[in-house]
Structure 1
Amino acid sequence: MRIRDQSLQLEGRRRECEALDRLVADLGAGHSAALVLRGEAGIGKTALLDYLEANAPSCRIARAAGVESEMELAFGGLHQLCTRLPDRLSDPRHEALSTAFGLTTGTPPDRFQVGLAMLNLLADVAEDAPLICLIDDAQWLDRMSAQTLAFVARRLLAERVALVFAIREHGDANELTGLPELLVTGLGYDDARALLDTTVTRVLDERVRDRFVAETRGNPLALIELPRSLPAGRLTSGFGRTGPDGLAGKLEQGFLLRFDALPADACLLLLIAAAEPVGDPALLWRAAERLGIGAEAAADAQTAGLIDIGSRVRFRHPLIRSAVYRAGSAADLRAVHSALAGATDASLDPDRRAWHRAYATVGLDEEVAAELESAAARAQARGGVGTAAAFLQRATELTPDPGRRAERALAAAGAKFEAGEPDAAYDLLSAAEIGPVDDLHRARLARLRAQISFAHRRGREAGALLLDAANRLDALHDPTAREAYLEALGAAVFAGRLGSHRNVQKAAEAARAAHPTPRPAGAMDLLLDGVASRFTDGYTVAVPSLRRALQAFRQAAERGEDKVVQWLWRGCPVAPELWDDEAWHELTDRGVELARGQGALGVLPGALTYRAVVHLHAGEFGAAAMLLTESDALASATGTTPLRDGRLMLAAWRGEERAAARLIDAAVQDAVARGEGRALGLARHATAVLYNGLGRYEAALDAARKACEQEDLGFFAWSLAEAVEAATRSDTGAADALSQLEERARAAGTDWGLGIWARSAALVAEGNDADALHREAIERLGRTRMVVHLARAQLLYGEWLRRENRRHDARIQLRLAHDSLSRMGARAFADRARQELAAIGETTRRQVAHSGELLTAKEAQIARLAADGLTNHEIGGRLFLSPHTVDWHLRKVFSKLAVTSRKQLDPALIDAISPVTAG
């Protein structure tokens, strides 16, 4: 594959070159791009990167490459790329990057904070000129770098930045899956023959030439390198079948023939370069000096066409690095890593020095193991949990003392689990169990094993495993026992009706019998006591302790305690369980604020969903949809499963039967498959809301009864209210559900709870009693934030008044209900009110979509945030977009809404022309 001198066009690569030319043209037009060049080793991906660099004279180019021996060092590839960019890491907006690289100290950044900082850095650099980042051998990037760059690539839009990755066809960089790809295949027959003719000077038999072309499958590097590496006899007769290592193996063998022919010092110098991925010639020569290698060794290596040593050290092809490193003997590799460790400045790069020392060590060495343990702590402080796990794993292997080895194995297992490597965590747990460990160590092992099980299988077995671990920790008076009990109880509640018989009861009873905390009871302790009491003593008895827990959570949230964010999903259901709308509003609002501030992106999607449900009950469907869109975007960014709860509840309240049914069916299937009984209960509750709104009461009653089969924490009483309404409308007894609802409402004593009970009781009452209960419901719910429930109370009262032939009074209530329900978007319930009004001769218009051009979901979300006063940088930080992309979306919003400034953005208008589906 040749490059023409004048046009710089690669022979046989017209399709690929045209695609790269379009990418450069798009950059010049102000757009961004991401592209993955995928193909086998030697197929020409690096040559295409070279072509792109040569044909983009108006662009800034930054190159980096993954290195196989450095895959365990977090952010190594990212740091390598940043060294090719102008130094702007001192900018506060890029603080997460400098902390991740160990240049500054601070709170360990979440990997998505690093991603946002990298996105903003690239956008800033591109202000001066379009920027192209070329990343070769992406299959060997460390995981954190690969995740960060993939995160950035998926958010590029209007920054004038291009990320182009070259990756092996069967590489392991799954993070890049889904990005635009250009598959690079072998050259066509004519181009392959022409390339072969440029590299073979001997006369070849036509059949041998054809065999070369066929067996290399047009691979350019094979066509160039294999003829050079074969003896004349084999060259003229053909080189035989490709061996078991495949074409890449054959190519590496060709490079190794040249490598083996070099003097020993040149071989050792190449081995140093292969083990040192930074490409720093000064470091290379310092290590070479330690091994007594002179400058003539570099001349020999460069003459052999294997390496270039200039301002940077660069192998002629990435396969040479891997071939050389794998060819090194164990003794030579130890010597090389020892020399690199000695040549690496311990104050500037202590982690890489520790890593080289680990590779240089044979047998057991406590000093090196301790150094690795310290490196792991530094890595964790930078957010590099994967690197910390690798350091701890190697430290475990080097530790001579069996007890200390078991402790480090447990720490390594925990880090591997946190890094998303459960299989490796399980292996390390097995290693931790071998040592002479005490009972406390084994109990902590059991807890971690149970946590891994819960993270991957959720319901069913995990709760029992967590409970066993909690019992063992409690027997040893370990202070983490109460947290373990809360985990066990949470897992049992999560499994609910799909868990083993009496799992929730058993976990609650064990928690009640646990040793009291030696410290003053905090929010987590009070939450454990309250929830355990809820399932052992019953709702009424548990209310005071649950109320104390809720108050403690509110105070802790106000103080900004870190644990509040971690325990948020367990504490939030307590507020609706107690019918405390004010606490629910306050806690979810503060929880989102804290999660954002702390960069707790693993928690933030759930926090946003809880907050969205609060908005939903307050009748603020637009705000709920906005938060759910953000939650989905975060889940996509973090690679986690999107939370369905908020989406299906919003669709049910909107009365969108098709969208809701689709979401509910998916939620049911997923809940059953994963053993998540609480999610199944919520799906049944949503079904009841949907069909009560649509007036299909028998279907609503069936769903509500199924929802009420288990007393799910947080929404059981909601399902009771749906059951009462559906039962009275289908002439079925509602006494039992109403009795249970009354018990909870009176025990809680809030306007929300008593208002829902009064609304439900009015449905089974008659005459003046019914009238009084309807009025009480409206009065009580009018004092709460629960606007959607107030509107439903007005609807039910209006329906009753019409049946009582009190047409004037009915018209007032039905009109209030219709206007409120229509405004918030509860269309099915609004249609019920419209039909009732029609029955008394009142004309209303069915709500129709705005005739203007619809905003997309992303545009509506950005417009709402801009209307709330957020800057482009603040919006970008919340939605993980660059300010340039935010500005691009806003310009489209201004055009569609015919406005010229943020001050003219009206949330009501945004809602009116935003998508109305549930997504």
Structure 2
Amino acid sequence: MLRNRHAECEVLDRLLIAVRAGQSRALVVRGEPGVGKTALLDYVVAQAVDCRVERAAGVQSEMEVAFAGLHQLCAPMLHRLGRLPDPQREALGITFGLVAGRAPDRLLVGLAVLGLLAEVAREQPLVCVVDDAQWLDRASAQVFAFVARRLVAESVALVFGSRGAPDDEPSSTLPELVVSGLSDADARELLRSALPGLVDRRVRDRIIAETRGNPLALLELPRGLTLAELTCGFGSAAPLPRRIEESFHRQLTPLPAETRMLLLVAAAEPLDDPLLVWRATELLGINPEAAGPASAAGLFEIGTRARFRHPLLRSTIYRTASVEERRVAHRALAEAIDLDADPDRRAWHRAQAASGPDEDVAADLERSAGRARARGGLSAAAAFLERAVQLTSEPPRRAARALAAAQATHQAGASDVALELLSVAMTGPLDRLQRAHADVLCAQITFTTNRDSKAPLLLLEAAKQLEPLDVRLARDTYLDALWAAKFAGPSAGVSVCEVAEAARSAPPAARPPRPADLLLDGMAKRYAEGPAAGVSELKRLLLAFRRPGMTEEDGLRWFVHAQWTAAELGDDETWEVLAARHVRLAREAGALSELPIALTSRILLHVLMGELSAAASLLAELAAVSDATGSPLFPHGAVVLAAWQGREAEVADLADMVRAGMLRRGDGVGLTFMTWGQAVLHNSMGRSEEALALAAEATEGCPWENGLLIRGTLAELVEGAVRCGQAERATAALRRLSDLSRACGADWALGLAARTQALVLDGAAAESDYREAIDRLGRTRIRSELARAHLLYGEWLRRGHRRVDAREQLRTAHAMFTTMGAEAFAARAERELLATGEQVRKRNLEISSELTAQEAQIARLVRQGLTNPEIAARLFISARTVEWHLKKVFRKLGISSRTQLQT
């Protein structure tokens, strides 16, 4: 019974109305235990009589079993898997153990679930209700949050009930309905219904005050109280959830011992599988009739599902049982589970049943960790390994397993837990090699989580320790140290050149050398001897990274080094190939600690290629990954993207938000990216003084080793200085840029240098450099810099009163910037065109002001010939949402077909 929940019911009614109308909704019903969340979820189910309803619930003892909650919800719908595209069908098949295969991309699993729900909802609106979301396994919670944020027009509702604090869950960014206690008057009326007899007024007032309107407490606390307690006094002032548990416990105490054990077995088995409960209790010698007293008391019923009256009752049964009783229940469940059908659940129950160290169970958990990793359940793999550590008595083996658990946990994105496990490993008897491994992992966690400036020195020291123990790992760690030192910049405890010198003295690689060995040798030579050294060797070895056949492990670890080396050398083609492969590998492996790095690199490349909408899509994915893992969102790509889009307020907000943190961590590269982006923005808007100041700040903190950044910031500095009449400053910066560009000898770098040099020249020399810049940049993928070359050349021609020639260049620049979505640069080109006397016409079907960003992006993808399912996969939305957006695009543009959109 719901008492005075009119406002909450109205919210839920509106949700159902929207879903029946073809829209989708997601909602988190949040509140303290017993406040009425489950009753409101039951209300949703009762009102959705014309919808298909599927239910699931998180269970505390199941939190470490990967995708357990997702399987609960989706199992009844798996007959629709055949409707999904092949990659999505395969991903869910592997996730649920229906087929064998490589661990699927976690985001692909999310997209597959979104597609599955959308397919089911084609027949009938679908309402999915998930109670106790705070106890969902992490893998399921991440997928549910991913799906909920992408529901738009599928006729699907996802409604979660949760007691956790919002920041503790992946679903924390979803709309919420916060449920509070009843008003004093409603609380008194509810209590009166629970206590119809004579009750001392002071006792009643105390119950009302101390329950704070919590409906479950008002109903449950009086159960089992003696007449003396009701008329003379009322218990202790224990916290409310404990009070509720005590009330449930009082109702459980009179039940027969066999009934209580049956309830404990059911509470320990979160899938509510009645057959499994009956098999386990039979092994314990419990008669099925033992369920009768619990059913008669209204506490529990077992039919097609095993159901408790309230989720808190389940937790009370489990929590109030003795440790030995829980072990007995888990042992019976483990014996009742078919080893071949569900070995991982059996292993988990065996682990919970263990009373002390047990090597057989620990080894079983290690095998389960391997299977979980193969399904993409990195969090589950880490949990299995962590429990294996607890069940291992032999100190060396325990330390080794703790080290493996720390590695898995870090890869799963839970770096804080990884550090705790690492500390366990460090207290064990590690040999020199294991300790060096632990030092490397510690430094990697430090660098991955916050780009801490301590990481380069930690990695360098670990590499030196590894030299006499493991040459291959030592060389790999030197490469990591070079990478970390480059990103920390001047704030690092060691410079890039110092790391390079140390790496050059390291033992040589085995023969034949790996691509990573060649990369280390080439980078160390270049950083130790100067920008012109080792360039030809590095360009040749980058081809090794482009060849197929590199293992997943090597690709995840080394692609980031290789692609940034390609960027430094101006090899945009190799950067594009490796960036795409790096993102794909990180997704497929579910490596959430690596995926943000891969996405950031890809976002920056998309921006430089003038593909701003693609960069924006990946930025949204990056935000989702950071939100799901709780890791910081590195804003490098966001700042540069917003700058090129001409979004002044957004750039300012990002700069204000992250500058202090970057300074505190010593994130030199982050600061340089931010100031570079701000300089680009101000130059695009014609604010030369601001651009000059920012570019000067960026170049001062950016050593030459960061070739991409230093070339970009020097180009902005020269443009700002020329516009401000500071010729000497422009010439000095140009000299530095020209030297770096000649050292790498790539069209991208030489074209940028030629365009920049043209700014300080006059006459035929300037025109020659502009033409050279356009020619060289036109051979590259770096469309953003090519468009700026056309713009600057057109401006120079206009100032020379060559209006006809200027219009040609300015039209090209304006069209390129408009297509990109670079609004400030497009506006600058438009002003210049108007100054030549030309009217700027809108392109057909380019009515960007009428289309939302998502609509415009979908329209562009349709023009590229992609189908709705392909667009859905690209944008991480459902095909039905693509259809919905396309209808709006057609209506706004006054067309009726995809063919018209493609013309």
Is 1:757 the counterpart of 2:757? The answer is no
Aligned residue number for residue 917 of structure 1: none
Q: CA deviation at 1:642?
A: 5.0
The residue correspondences of 1:58-457 to structure 2 (distance < 5 A) are 58-85=50-77, 87-89=79-81, 92=86, 93-168=88-163, 170=165, 174-243=169-238, 246-457=239-450
Where 2:222 maps in the other structure, the secondary structure is helix
Q: Is 1:35 paired with 2:27? A: yes
* Cα deviations by residue, 1:786-820 (Å, 9 ceiling, x for unpaired): 455455445555666677xx64xx33442233212
Question: Is 2:498 aligned against 1:506?
Answer: yes
- Which one of 817, 827, 836 corresponds to residue 842 of structure 1? 836
1:916 corresponds in structure 2 to none
Deviations 1:520-546 (A, max 9, x none): 334333322222222111111121122
Q: Which residue of 1 aligns with 2:872?
A: 876
Q: Specify the code of the residue in structure 1 equivalent to 2:191.
A: L
Distance in 2, matches of 1:683 and 1:60, equals 49
| Contact 2:446/2:452 (8 A) holds in 1 | no
How far the C-alpha of 1:413 sits from its partner, in A, is: 1.2
Letter in 2 for 1:717: R
> Per the alignment, do residues 128 and 771 of structure 1 end up closer, same or farther by CA in structure 2, a change over 3 Å counting?
closer
Does residue 561 of structure 2 align to residue 570 of structure 1?
yes
Give 1:914's aligned residue: none
| CA spacing shift, 1:549–1:698, aligned 2, 3 Å | farther
| Structure 1 residues 701 and 352: CA distance shift in structure 2, 3 A | same
Structure 2: distance between partners of 1:397 and 1:691: 57
Using the TM superposition, give the Cα deviation of residue 852 of structure 1 relative to its aligned residue in structure 2, in angstroms.
Answer: 7.7
- Would you say the 8 A contact 2:351–2:387 is kept in 1? yes
Is this contact kept in 1: 2:639–2:673, CA < 8 A?
Answer: no
Contact persistence 1:274–1:321 (CA under 8 A): yes
* Letter of the 1:700 counterpart: A
What letter is aligned with 2:32? Answer: E
Look at both structures and tell me which one has the larger radius of gyration over its CA atoms. 1
Letter in 1 for 2:810: H
Cross-structure match for 1:714? 708
- Preserved CA contact (<8 Å) 2:497 2:527: yes
Specify the alignment match of 2:18 in structure 1. Answer: 26
Structure 1 residues 293-692: aligned runs within 5 Å? 293-500=286-493, 502-556=494-548, 563-564=554-555, 566-588=557-579, 610-611=601-602, 613-614=604-605, 616-618=607-609, 620=610, 623-636=611-624, 638-639=626-627, 644-653=635-644, 657-664=648-655, 666=657, 668-692=659-683
Change (3 A) 1:470 1:200: same
Taking a change above 3 Å as real, the CA distance of residues 679 and 233 of structure 1, as seen in their structure-2 partners, is same
1:237-256 per-position Cα deviation (integer Å, ceiling 9, x unaligned) = 3414531xx22211211221
1:862 correspondence with 2:858: yes
In structure 2, the CA distance between the partners of 1:36 and 1:876, relative to structure 1 (3 Å rule), is: same
Shift of 1:370: 0.7
Q: Does the CA-based 8 Å contact 2:798-2:836 persist in structure 1?
A: no
Report deviation, 1:201. Answer: 4.3
In 1, Cα distance between equivalents of 2:563 and 2:483: 12
Q: 1:180-219 CA distances to partner (integer Å, 9 max, x unpaired)?
A: 2222233334433333333334323444434433333333
How far apart are residue 633 of structure 1 and its match? Answer: 3.8
> Conserved in 1, the CA contact under 8 Å of 2:139 and 2:377?
yes
CA RMSD of aligned residues (A): 3.1
Report the CA distance between 1:616 and its aligned residue: 4.6
Shift of 1:883: 1.0
Deviations 1:268-319 (A, max 9, x none): 2222112122212222122212222223322222233321122221111112
Aligned partners of 1:608 and 1:628 also within 8 Å: no
Q: Are the structure 2 counterparts of residues 172 and 342 from structure 1 closer, same or farther at C-alpha, using a change threshold of 3 Å? A: farther
Whether the 8 Å contact between 1:579 and 1:752 is mirrored in structure 2 is: yes
Q: For residue 83 of structure 1, what is the amino acid of its counterpart?
A: A
CA contact (8 A) 1:63 1:84 kept: no
Change (3 A) 1:672 1:172: closer
Structure 2: any 5+ residue segments left out of the alignment?
A: none
Unaligned regions of 5+ residues in structure 1, if any?
Answer: 3-9, 908-919
Q: Structure 1 residues 361, 151: closer, same or farther in 2, change over 3 A?
A: same
| Aligned CA distance change for structure 1 residues 27 and 235 (closer, same or farther; 3 Å) | same
Report if aligned partners of 1:526, 1:548 keep a CA contact under 8 Å in 2: no
Q: How many Å separate the matches in 1 of 2:439 and 2:77?
A: 47
1:679 is aligned with what amino acid?
A: G
Q: CA deviation at 1:59?
A: 1.3
**3-state SS in 1 of match to 2:472:** coil
**Which residue does 1:811 correspond to in 2?**
803
Separation in 2, partners of 1:833, 1:163: 47
Distance 1:891 1:344, change over 3 A: same
For 1:30-79, what per-residue CA distance to the aligned partner results, in whole angstroms no more than 9, with x for missing partners?
12222222222222222222222222221112122211111111111111
Mapped partners of 1:416, 1:475: distance in 2: 28
- 1:208–1:236 Cα contact (<8 Å) kept: yes
Pairing of 1:696-775 with structure 2 (within 5 A) = 696-709=687-700, 710-711=703-704, 712-729=706-723, 730-733=725-728, 734-765=730-761, 769-770=765-766, 772-775=768-771
Matches of 1:884 and 1:430 in 2, distance apart?
Answer: 49
Question: 1:749–1:451: structure 2 CA closer, same or farther, 3 Å change rule?
Answer: closer
Hey, what does 1:16 align to over in structure 2?
A: 8
Q: Write the letter of the residue equivalent to 1:148.
A: V
In structure 2, the CA distance between the partners of 1:796 and 1:647, relative to structure 1 (3 Å rule), is: same
Preserved contact between residue 509 and residue 536 of structure 1 (Cα < 8 Å): yes
SS of residue paired to 2:547: helix
**Shift in Å at residue 735 of structure 1?**
4.2
- Structure 1: which amino acid aligns with 2:13? D
SS class of match (1:541): coil
SS at match of 2:708: coil
- Secondary structure at the aligned position of 1:133 is classed as strand
**C-alpha deviation, 1:362, in angstroms:** 1.9
Structure 1 residue 589: Cα displacement: 5.6
Q: Aligned ranges for residues 790-809 of structure 1 at < 5 Å?
A: 790=786, 792-793=788-789, 796=792, 807=801
Do structure 1's residue 887 and structure 2's residue 880 form an aligned pair? no
- The separation in 2 between residues aligned to 1:885 and 1:900, in whole angstroms, is 17
Shift of 1:631: 2.6
* CA shift in 2, pair 1:129/1:638, >3 Å: farther
The 8 Å contact of residues 411 and 592 in structure 2, kept in 1 or not, is answered as no
The whole-number CA distance in structure 1 between the counterparts of 2:78 and 2:755 is 65
Task: Give the paired residue count.
Answer: 886
- Structure 2: how far apart are the matches of 1:418 and 1:598? 10
Decide whether the 8 Å contact of 2:134 with 2:164 is kept in 1.
Answer: no
Secondary structure of 1:567's counterpart equals helix
Contact 1:667 1:679 in 2 (8 A): no
C-alpha distance after superposition, 1:218-245 (max 9, x if no partner): 33222322222100111123414531xx
SS of the counterpart of 1:31? Answer: coil
